[in-house]
Amino acid sequence: MVADLASGFDRPGGSWLRRQVFWGWVTGFTRTVAGVAGLALCMAGGLPLAVSAGEGLGLAAQRRGMVEAIEEMVAETRMEIGKDRLDPQVMAIMAKVPRHEFVPEDVRASAYLNRPLPIGYGQTISQPYIVALMSDLLAIGPEDTVLEVGTGSGYQAAVLSGLVKDVYSMEIIEPLGRQAKARLERLGYANVETRVGDGYYGWAAHAPFDGIIVTAAASHVPPPLVRQLKPGGRMVIPVGSRFFTQYLMLVEKQSDGSVKTRQIMPVRFVPLTGEH
Ligand code: SAM
């Protein structure tokens, strides 16, 4: 998989879903989504309607194709991630959140490809596989409160919104933060609160958190975030530099306040910026 990351070119062979290596910002390999299946799904449990009456079956079918591509990639990476499948609830949410609403008009046709896409200001919406994997690794439940660092488009926050009680999300680039806030409000994600600011320092007013997800690569695990994690809580964060290998890390805070870390897999994220 690391070789895939480094090659940067399409890889020959594979199934009818053409294997495609993506030298992108998030993770280094994707599968082109060509398969379409499934039916329109309605959101349950008081969540916003992901498939509105006007959306039609096409987008829901594309989302099913995206979910299948995620499942295939999970199977390919099972040795690294230590499991054959992700939490069914995470996968169900992935099939419902309208990713096309979170990407700019000019890349909307690619919204359901399993790949990161540009969202402006040099930033990206993460690859769906990575969004699903990071959500799964948090091991969160319906009563939990989660902090996201790196709101970007708001897509990851929308996914988390369907899994937990409250989501707090911080974005350092002001226009992106403003746009994401408006988008999340328009789409009805009422349990997501956003703020513009440097997420390295967390959001103390709402701490401690059951889970913290950082969607930009840090050079180290930020100590303020460890402090804002509940004992028993988990943080998922890419760690590494812009030019060298980054690893997706799972940080688990023990009941005595110490932390256990586990390297999950090599990834490629935009950097965590700010003055620290
Ligand atoms: N989660 C986003 C989504 O679903 O669209 C994608 C995140 S993008 C890969 C990383 C984001 O982290 C960028 O929008 C970037 O501006 C933001 N970021 C970088 N450093 C940050 C910091 N110190 N605090 C908050 N956000 C930061």
pTM of the model: 0.84
Q: Which atom of ligand 1 is nearest to the CA of 170?
A: 25
Residue among 110, 126, 241, 258 flagged as catalytic: 126
Superfamily of domain 2-267: Vaccinia Virus protein VP39 (3.40.50.150)
Say how many Å lie between the CA of residue 128 and the centre of ligand 1. Answer: 15
Distance CA 15, CA 203 (A): 45
Neighbours of 161 (CB within 10 A): 25
Q: What is the distance between the alpha carbons of residues 49 and 65, in angstroms, rounded to a whole number?
A: 19
Q: Ligand 1 mean position to 173 CA, how many Å? A: 8
Sequence-distant (6+) residues with CB within 8 A of 90 are 132, 135, 136, 159, 163
Helix (H, G, I), strand (E, B) or coil at 200: helix
Ligand 1 centroid vs 270 CA: distance in angstroms?
Answer: 8
What pLDDT was estimated at residue 57? 62
Spell out the domain ranges in the chain: 2-267
| Tens-place pLDDT, residues 249-265 | 999 999 999 999 999 99
Q: Is 126 a catalytic residue?
A: yes
| Residue ranges lining ligand 1, Cβ < 6 Å | 123-126, 149-150, 152-153, 155-156, 170-173, 176, 198-200, 215-216, 269-270, 272-274
- Give the position, in ligand 1's atom list, of the atom nearest the Cα of 176: 14
Distance between CA atoms of 14 and 19, rounded to whole angstroms? 6
Model confidence over 66-80: pLDDT tens digits? 999 999 999 999 999
Q: What is the pLDDT at residue 56?
A: 60
Q: How far apart are the C-alpha atoms of 247 and 244, rounded to whole Å? A: 10
> Which tens digits make up the pLDDT trace of 162-183?
999 999 999 999 999 999 999 9
Tokens of 257: 């306040």
